């Protein structure tokens, strides 16, 4: 995905995770803003919200995050099809069987749509 670290997937997932964390922080700050009335706290909260919004409302960042999310979803389907555990590697020695071939054919079929 262009616009990330340049190392490509899955190294660019750190960028997606950062964006998703910023989105969550933005929601929480928005919820908190209605509960704060003290001027100094309000000013600090507004400053942080402004910085978070610069990230989560930037069109290019949103588009890149969406692409990374789509690629990640496909990657997770491939991991599942190959029965690769969450902390495993695609290069691990995995026993070949018919169910793996069936699952891979399903994923490939979904990609062709």
What pLDDT is recorded for position 60?
94
Q: How far is CA 78 from the centre of its chain?
A: 16
Query: Cα separation of 12 and 10, whole Å?
Result: 5
Positions in the chain whose pLDDT score sits under 70: 1-11, 88-94, 112-113
Q: Which pTM value belongs to this model?
A: 0.70
2-31 burial, b at 16+ Cβ within 10 Å, e below that, comes to eebeeeeeeebbebbeebeebeebbeebee
DSSP code, position 6 = S
Q: Taking the domains of the chain in order of start, what are their residue ranges?
A: 13-112
């Amino acid at each position: 995905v262009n616009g990330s670290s340049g190392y490509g997937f899955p190294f660019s997932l750190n960028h997606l995770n950062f964006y998703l964390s910023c989105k969550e922080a933005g929601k929480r700050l928005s919820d908190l803003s209605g509960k704060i009335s003290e001027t100094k706290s309000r000013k600090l909260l507004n400053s942080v919200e402004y910085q978070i919004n610069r990230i989560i409302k930037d069109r290019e960042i949103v588009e890149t995050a969406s692409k990374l999310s789509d690629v990640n979803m496909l990657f997770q389907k491939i991991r599942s099809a190959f029965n690769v555990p969450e902390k495993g590697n695609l290069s691990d020695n995995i026993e070949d069987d018919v169910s793996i071939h069936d699952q891979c054919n399903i994923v490939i079929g979904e990609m062709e749509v």
